[in-house]
Amino acid sequence: MTKMEKLVEAFAQNVEAQTEAIWRGDAKTGNKHADRYIAALKKLRAHGDAGRDALATLLSHPRMDVRTTAAAVLLRYKTKEAKAVLEEAAKGKGLIPFEAQEALKRWADGTWALDPE
């Protein structure tokens, strides 16, 4: 497994773990996992577009939380694909669809800034 594949795996695993912690009402643990997936994201971004391409493999991940988190970060780089993931997720109800709706709203109003150039 390459270094970037390990970072993508760490991103996905920590998004999953954060979601599960939130569902349990454990914000402290959720925040710990958020810090870890953000750290993996920063390391992937340090590889430029190659890191973004590696992260884009998660746009088809089986878990909606992982897909939508990756899509929210990749809106500038993979606009069409990321918007499609977020629009599909936004159709539902609950925390993850709400987060997808908010990402789309921020993108549309020009305030989105999760991966500046």
Instruction: Report the C-alpha gap between 69 and 82 in whole angstroms.
Output: 10
Please state which CATH number belongs to domain 3-109: 1.25.40.70
Domain boundaries, the chain: 3-109
**Residues 16-56 pLDDT 10s:** 999 999 999 999 999 999 999 999 999 999 999 999 999 99
Cβ 75 vs Cβ 112: under 8 Å: yes
pLDDT tens, residue by residue, 68-89: 999 999 999 999 999 999 999 9
Residue 50's pLDDT is: 96
Close Cβ partners of 113 (under 8 Å, ≥ 6 residues apart): none
Angstrom CA distances, 95 to 7, 12, 45, stand at 25, 17, 26
6 backbone dihedrals φ, ψ, rounded to 5°: -65, -40
